[in-house]
Amino acid sequence: MFAYRYYYKLYSRAKERIETLKEYVAIPEVYRTANIQVLYRELRTTTLHCSQLGDNLPLSYCEFNPNDQMVAVSSWSGLCKLWTIPDCKHVRTFRGHIKNACCISWHPQSTLTQDPAMINLASSSFDTSVKLWNLQCDEPIAEIEGHTPFRVSKVKCHSSGRFLTTACYDHSWRLWDLETQEEILHHEGHSKAVHDIKFHCDGSLSATAGMDTYGRIWDLRTGRCIIFLEATGSEDNLCKIWDLRQIKSVYSVAAHENLVSTVKFQCNEGHYLVTVSYDNTIKLTTHPIWSALYSSKGHEQKIMSAALSRDGRCIATVSYDRTFKIWSAGKIC
């Protein structure tokens, strides 16, 4: 435990982020504004690039790999599949879960510096298991146990590549050592199931969202909850914008007519956000004006999840209609 906390005290991407921000601020405002306007014009031309039947049961989650050349998709059949971008060709099927697969997450260095024979992905399921996969086998190379008898709703690899976090329906979340598959932290705080968990880009904070309609921000260096977000939950059809310094909701985006299933900010710059909903629509909204950029009802049934590529060229959506779709505002091949 001491070694883990010492590592987190040393590990931080804040310096890198601040340097990037300084470079951005150094650009004259007139050019920054012009670039944003060009971006928004392109986003308004977003179209459906590819649609593919992903499985014989509803799809639950999707995530682009670190070099944006593949997308991983999990399904209620228990299978997880890899597909190429932009042609949506099937690459591999991971078999191991005996019930609905809830989520799949890439190692941050997968397809970059990570050995294909080592851990490259993690997935979770209704069967209480977390499976670890490489890029060479269809079967899991390791498994994380300790959630029985509850489903594991989400898994997410830390930006350092050393840790994995899991959100569980036993009202708790856990942090694991990826190399040893040993539990490092086990935290309770939500009064109902923990449905989602994400890491802050700096790597020192995590955010959890519970079925109790509350959000919590956790400091991984101390293991404590430092911010309590009194939300109303996405079932009110709203997307809430939070100021973590003021610890309050500063805006509510009324973008959808049904439950909001996923919200994603543009990687790195955050000039827009992507929302998808059980109303079958995908929408793009500007930041910080929060005006509508694009909307499309491309799926026949509710959209379960969405992912935004790191280069901003592609958006992936997966749906209860068993299809996944790739959206783009320009040429992506």
Question: Dihedral of the CA atoms 209, 257, 40, 318 (nearest 10)?
Answer: 60
Q: Which pLDDT does position 293 carry in this prediction?
A: 96
SS (H, E, C) 151-209: CEEEEEECCCCCEEEEEECCCEEEEEECCCCEEEEEEECCCCCEEEEEECCCCCEEEEE
* CB contact burial 137-161 (16+ within 10 A = b; e otherwise): eeebeeebebbeeebbbbbbbbbbb
Q: Which pLDDT does position 266 carry in this prediction?
A: 95
Q: Which pLDDT does position 247 carry in this prediction?
A: 87
Nearest to 296 by CA among 311, 287, 288, 306: 306
Q: Hey, what CATH class is 2-259+311-328 in?
A: mainly beta
Grouped pLDDT means (10 residues each) for the chain, 333 residues: 61 74 88 95 96 98 98 99 97 98 98 98 98 98 96 97 97 96 94 96 92 93 90 81 90 94 92 97 96 96 97 96 95 59
Sketch the domain layout of the chain as residue ranges.
Answer: 2-259+311-328
Q: Which pLDDT does position 6 carry in this prediction?
A: 60
